[in-house]
C-alpha cells in the first residue's frame, strides 16, 4: 500500500529554505565578525607599534627585567651601556651594575619582586662598555606578565646634575673659605687700624707734649740772650755781641720749628677750631708785610701791597690767616735773590663771596715736577740743587691745612727762574657788607629769582646756615632750617618743602642717611635734594647721587650757581 507523503514536501521545502537563510545570515555575521576582529587586531598592533616607538624614542632608559634577565630595552639603555641590542637582551641586569652598587640594587629589586616596601626612586651607577661609570636615577615598579611578574625600570642619566651639584658644593666650599679669609682680613684690618690710630694718637700726644716742654727752657735761653744783648749784666765786646746774635737767631729758628710741630700735632688731633670774626683786609695785609719787612730789607728785596680790588672786611680767623700769609711771604723773601721783588695782592672772589690773596715773587721759582709735592709734610725744596733751606718742611703743609679749615683752596703757578704765584681763595661765610650794600633795584631783581620757593636747609653750622638763609631769602625763597638729618626728616613730614639743601657731615643723622631715608618714604621721595659738602671729590659726588640726591655742590657754595641749580631742578619738575 502506498503512503501519500506529498504533504511533507512543503514543510521540507520550508525547512530547507530556512536552513539556507540561516546559513547565509551566519556566513554574513561571521564575515563581519572576522573583519571587525582583524580591524581590532590591526588597531592593537598599531597601538603596540606606537607604544614601542614611544618607548624606543624616550629620553630616559626603559628596561623590563624578569627573573633577573633583561627581556626588553630601549635605545637609551643601549646608549647607556654602549652595547648592541643583542648584547643586552637576555643578559642579567646585574651585569651592567658596578660591583660596589650591586648589593643595594639587588636588595631593592628582590624586595619589589616579593612585594615588600622598597625605594621608588634611588641613585646608582651603570657600567659602560668602555669601562667608565654613568650616574643614573632609577625608578622601578612591578607589572604582571604572562607566567609571572616583571620589574619595569626607568633609568635617567643624571651625570650633568651630579656635576652641577659637585660644582655647587665646590663653589659653596670656596665661598665659605673666602668668607673666612675675608672675616680674618677684616679682623686684621680692624686690629691694624686700631693700632695705627693708637700709634697716631700717641705720636700726636708726644709731639704736643714735647713741643710744650721744649718751650720752657727755650724761653729761658731767649730771655737771657736778650738781657745779655741789652747789657743787663755789663758791657759786651763786639765778638760777644756777634755770638749772642747767632744764639738769638738760632733760638728764634728753633721756636718757629716747635710752633710748626705743635700746629701739626693740633691739626692731626682735631683740636684746631677757627674763630671767625670780621677781619679788616688792608690792616691784615699790612701787618703781614711788616712782619717780613726786616728780612726783605736785609736782602734788598722790595715789597708791595695791592688791596684795591678787595672788600673792606670779611669773616675769617684772623690769627690763622696771618699764619698763612706770613708763611707764604716769608718763603717769597727767602727764595728771592738780592735786588728782586715780592708782593701781596688781595681781590674779591667772583660774586663777592670771598677774598683771593695772591703772594708773588721774582725769585728762583719751582720746578714743575716738584709742584705737586710742596704741600706735603716734611717736604723741602732744595733751592735748585744748591743749599737746603732751614726748616722742618711743615710750613706749606700747615698753610694748606689752615686754608682747608676755612673751606678754601690754594694753588700755585711757578716756573724756574721766573718766580712764583701762590693764590689762596678764602670764602666769606657771611658777606654781610656786600649784601647789605646792594642797591634797591638789584634787590628787587634778586627777589624774583626764587620767589615763593619753600626751601628746607639742613646745616649744622649756625653761622653758615644763617648766611645761606639770608642769601636765599634775599632771592625770594622761604627758608626753614634743620640742624641735622633727623630734624630735617621730622620737619619734612610735618610740612613738605619744594626743595631740600642737605649738608652731608652733620650730627645725630648725617646727610647721606637722611637722603636715603627720604627716598624710601613715599611721601618725601619726590622732593628734590641738592647735597652741599666740603668733601668735594668725584667719589663724594657719586656717593651723594647714589643715595638719591638730584645734584651736588661743593663748599664754599657759589650762591649764583646754587640758585641756577634750584631753578633748573624746579623747572624740570614742572608746575606743582
Q: What is the pLDDT of residues 378-413, one digit of tens each?
A: 555 554 333 444 554 567 888 888 888 888 888 899
CA distance 159 to 120: 20
* pLDDT over 50 (residue 103): yes
Mean pLDDT, range 425-435, rounded to an integer = 64
Whether residue 560 has pLDDT greater than 90: no
Let me know: does 292 contact 336? Beta carbons within 8 Å.
no
- Are 78 and 85 spatial neighbours (Cβ–Cβ below 8 Å)? yes
Size (the chain), residues: 576
Question: Region 482-486: what's the mean pLDDT?
Answer: 93
- Could you tell me the pLDDT band of residue 437, with boundaries at 50, 70 and 90? very low
Q: Beta strand pairing status for 133-145 and 121-127?
A: antiparallel
Ranked by mean pLDDT, the top range of 11-15, 396-400, 415-419, 494-498 is 494-498
If we measure between CA atoms, which residue out of 507, 502, 542 comes closest to residue 518? 502
- pLDDT over 80 (residue 120): no
C-alpha cell at 424: 689762596
**SS3 (DSSP) at 371:** helix
Q: What percent of the chain has pLDDT over 90?
A: 18
Pairwise CA distance, residues 329 & 322, whole Å: 10
Average pLDDT over every residue of 122-151: 83
Most confident range, picked from 248-252, 360-364, 461-465:
360-364
C-alpha cell at 477: 625763597
C-alpha distances in Å from residue 277, one per residue of 198, 287, 401, 444, 558: 35, 17, 19, 30, 21
Q: Which pTM does this prediction carry?
A: 0.40
CA dihedral 20, 26, 32, 34 (to 10 degrees): -120
Q: Has residue 266 got a pLDDT over 80?
A: no
Provide the strand spans (E) within 339-398: 341-348, 354-361
Contact status, residue 136 vs residue 81, Cβ threshold 8 Å: no
Q: pLDDT value at position 428?
A: 81
- Could you tell me if 162 and 134 are in contact, meaning their C-beta atoms sit under 8 angstroms apart? no
Residue 443 pLDDT: 44
For residue 498, pLDDT over 60 is answered with yes
Contact 311, 376 (CB under 8 A): no
Query: 521 — phi, psi (to 5°)?
Result: -95, 115
Answer whether residue 532 shows pLDDT above 80: yes
Query: Rg (Cα) of the chain, in Å, rounded?
Result: 50
Question: What integer best gives the mean pLDDT of the chain?
Answer: 81
Find residue 414's DSSP bridge partners. 420
The Cα 5–Cα 295 span in angstroms is: 178
Please tell me the least confidently modeled range out of 144-148, 250-254, 444-448, 566-570. 444-448
Q: What is the pLDDT averaged over residues 163-179?
A: 90
Report pLDDT for 434: 42
- Phi-psi category of residue 365: left, alpha or beta, with phi > 0 → left and psi -120 to 50 → alpha: left
CB neighbour list of residue 488: distance below 8 Å, 6 or more residues apart: 456, 458, 482, 500, 502, 514
Least confident of 21-30, 69-78, 561-570: 21-30
Q: What is the largest CA-CA distance in the chain?
A: 210
Which range has highest mean pLDDT (104-118, 206-220, 511-525)?
511-525
What pLDDT score was predicted for residue 382? 52
Under a CB-based contact definition with an 8 Å cutoff, are residues 214 and 258 in contact? yes
Average the pLDDT over 466-485 and give the result.
88
Element (H, E) at 456: strand 454-458
Backbone angles phi, psi at 311, to 5 degrees: -70, 170
DSSP string, 388-405: PPSS-S-HHHHHHHHHHH
- Higher pLDDT residue, 431 or 302? 302
Amino acid at each position: 500500500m502506498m503512503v501519500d507523503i506529498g504533504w511533507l514536501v512543503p514543510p521540507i521545502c520550508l525547512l530547507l529554505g530556512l536552513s539556507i537563510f540561516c546559513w547565509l545570515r551566519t556566513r554574513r555575521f561571521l564575515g563581519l565578525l572576522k573583519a571587525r576582529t582583524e580591524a581590532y587586531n590591526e588597531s592593537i598592533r598599531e597601538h603596540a607599534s606606537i607604544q614601542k616607538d614611544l618607548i624606543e624614542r624616550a629620553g630616559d632608559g626603559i628596561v623590563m627585567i624578569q627573573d633577573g634577565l633583561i627581556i626588553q630595552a630601549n635605545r637609551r639603555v643601549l646608549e647607556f651601556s654602549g652595547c648592541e641590542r643583542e648584547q643586552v637582551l637576555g643578559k642579567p641586569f646585574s651585569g651592567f651594575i658596578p660591583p660596589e652598587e650591586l648589593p643595594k640594587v639587588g636588595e631593592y629589586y628582590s624586595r619589589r619582586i616579593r612585594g615588600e616596601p622598597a625605594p621608588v626612586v634611588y641613585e646608582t651607577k651603570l657600567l659602560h662598555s668602555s669601562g667608565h661609570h654613568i650616574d643614573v636615577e632609577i625608578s622601578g615598579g612591578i607589572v604582571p606578565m604572562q607566567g609571572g611578574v616583571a620589574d619595569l625600570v626607568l633609568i635617567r642619566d643624571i651625570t650633568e646634575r651630579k656635576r652641577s651639584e659637585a660644582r655647587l658644593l665646590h663653589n659653596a666650599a670656596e665661598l665659605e673659605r673666602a668668607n673666612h679669609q675675608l672675616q680674618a682680613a677684616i679682623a686684621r684690618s680692624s686690629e691694624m687700624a686700631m693700632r695705627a690710630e693708637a700709634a697716631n694718637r700717641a705720636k700726636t700726644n708726644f709731639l704736643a707734649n714735647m713741643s710744650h716742654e721744649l718751650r720752657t727752657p727755650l724761653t729761658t735761653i731767649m730771655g737771657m740772650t736778650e738781657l745779655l744783648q741789652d747789657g743787663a749784666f755789663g758791657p759786651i765786646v763786639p765778638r760777644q755781641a756777634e755770638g749772642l746774635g747767632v744764639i738769638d737767631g738760632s733760638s728764634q729758628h728753633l721756636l718757629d720749628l716747635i710752633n710748626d710741630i705743635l700746629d701739626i700735632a693740633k691739626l692731626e688731633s682735631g683740636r684746631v677750631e677757627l674763630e671767625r670774626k670780621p677781619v679788616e683786609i688792608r690792616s691784615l695785609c699790612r701787618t703781614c708785610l711788616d712782619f717780613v719787612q726786616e728780612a726783605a730789607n736785609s736782602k734788598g728785596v722790595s715789597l708791595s701791597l695791592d688791596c684795591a680790588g678787595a672788600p673792606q672786611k670779611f669773616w675769617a680767623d684772623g690769627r690763622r690767616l696771618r699764619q698763612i700769609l706770613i708763611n707764604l711771604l716769608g718763603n717769597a723773601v727767602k727764595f728771592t735773590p738780592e735786588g728782586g721783588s715780592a708782593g701781596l695782592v688781595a681781590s674779591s672772589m667772583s660774586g663777592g663771596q670771598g677774598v683771593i690773596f695772591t703772594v708773588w715773587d721774582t725769585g728762583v721759582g719751582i720746578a714743575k715736577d716738584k709742584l705737586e709735592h710742596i704741600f706735603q709734610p716734611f717736604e723741602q725744596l732744595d733751592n735748585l740743587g744748591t743749599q737746603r733751606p732751614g726748616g722742618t718742611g711743615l710750613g706749606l703743609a700747615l698753610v694748606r691745612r689752615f686754608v682747608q679749615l676755612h673751606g678754601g683752596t690754594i694753588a700755585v703757578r711757578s716756573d724756574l727762574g721766573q718766580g712764583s704765584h701762590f693764590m689762596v681763595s678764602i670764602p666769606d661765610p657771611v658777606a654781610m657788607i656786600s649784601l647789605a650794600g646792594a642797591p634797591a633795584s638789584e634787590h628787587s631783581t634778586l627777589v624774583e629769582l626764587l620767589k615763593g620757593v619753600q626751601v628746607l636747609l639742613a646745616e649744622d653750622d649756625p653761622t653758615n646756615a644763617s648766611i645761606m638763609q639770608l642769601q636765599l631769602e634775599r632771592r625770594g625763597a622761604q627758608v626753614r632750617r634743620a640742624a641735622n638729618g633727623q630734624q630735617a626728616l621730622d620737619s619734612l613730614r610735618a610740612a613738605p618743602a619744594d626743595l631740600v639743601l642737605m649738608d652731608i657731615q652733620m650730627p645725630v643723622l648725617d646727610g647721606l642717611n637722611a637722603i636715603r631715608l627720604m627716598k624710601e618714604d613715599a611721601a618725601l621721595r619726590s622732593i628734590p635734594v641738592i647735597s652741599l659738602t666740603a668733601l668735594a671729590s668725584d667719589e663724594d659726588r657719586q656717593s651723594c647721587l647714589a643715595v638719591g640726591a638730584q645734584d651736588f655742590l661743593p663748599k664754599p657754595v657759589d650762591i649764583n650757581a646754587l640758585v641756577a641749580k634750584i631753578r633748573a631742578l624746579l623747572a624740570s619738575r614742572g608746575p606743582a
